[in-house]
Amino acid sequence: MKILLQTTIPYTADDWNISRFSKLTAHLRGSGFDVTGRDKEDLGRIDQSDFDQLWLFAVDTGSGLSSKECEAIARFNQSGRGVLVTRDHQDLGSSVCTINGIGAAHHFHSRNLDPDPTRRQRDDQQTREIDWPNFHSGQNGEYQQIHAVGDRHPLLTREDGSTIQWFPAHPHEGDVDAPASDSTARVIATGSSKTTGRAFNLIVALDGNGKRGRGVAESSFHHFSDYNWDPRAGAPSFVTDPVGDEVVRDPKRLDDIKRYVHNLATWLGGGRR
């Protein structure tokens, strides 16, 4: 199973470059997957590659993907291969919303707005320069408790058969939802705002039903970053939010995100025709 992990920006030392996802890369390789990690390279022919999965970390400010690349990613998925697309707050990574299929699961501040007006309002109140969507699930370095929605999805199952409960937290997560146009898509997990207590969507799974590959849309790439698995790894200088120490004091709960990553790579690979 060949997995490509790619950011949507060229290498920039003081930004969310692919080296800031090294723990994820190492964990996948340790689980037996063939992983290539890289920063922005042209994805206009990704459908002609031999990769089985694309994990796209949309860390750009809105222009990270061209229309040609979005079309190629859609063809890649339509050929039966798995795609994870994850972004963050406001308009961060908003170029992904033009990917046919999975792009519709992502809502931003100025593109593909959430049809629910109650989700088009500021949630995180601490970082005033970041506007909605910015759901506050906790500080970087803390955990958030997640909640399975409906019948528990295989992505949320621990090795012992119990349900995954803990994800790394982030103070301003993005907005995802199951597109009304896709009957194979459903929200499988929610988090809770530490500001308002209201639920927000964390993960949307798109099954594909054999007509295309499987897909997953996630509210924040911080679920996968080194900084959120261990804040001692550091972050770009523009990250000024307060930092918690729960993951340092209680690293055992990281087993849940690591199991989820294993499940994700396995499940995304299972829809190939």
Using one digit for the tens of pLDDT, what is the confidence trace for 16-55? 999 999 999 999 999 999 999 999 999 999 999 999 999 9
Angle between helices 254-269 and 22-30 (to 10 degrees): 60
* pLDDT of the residue at 211: 83
pLDDT in the model for residue 271: 57
Nearest alpha-carbon partner for 141 in 16, 251, 20, 13: 251
Residue 23, pLDDT score: 98
CATH number, position 20: 3.40.50.880
Domain that residue 210 falls in: 2-269
pLDDT at residue 209, as a whole number = 83
pTM as predicted:
0.97
In order along its 273 residues, the chain shows pLDDT tens digits of 999 999 999 999 999 999 999 999 999 999 999 999 999 999 999 999 999 999 999 999 999 999 999 999 999 999 999 999 999 999 999 999 999 999 999 999 999 999 999 999 999 999 999 999 999 999 999 999 999 999 999 999 999 999 999 999 999 999 999 999 899 999 999 999 999 999 999 999 999 887 899 999 999 999 999 999 999 999 999 999 999 999 999 999 999 999 999 999 999 998 554
Model confidence pLDDT, tens digit, residues 122-131: 999 999 999 9
Query: What residue has token string 């046919």?
Result: 100
Which DSSP category does 114 fall into?
-
pLDDT score for 218: 98
Say how many domains are in the chain. 1
Tell me the H-state helices in the chain.
Answer: 22-30, 67-78, 226-229, 246-249, 254-269
Torsion angle of alpha carbons 229, 197, 189, 187, nearest 10°? -130
* Amino acid occupying residue 107: H
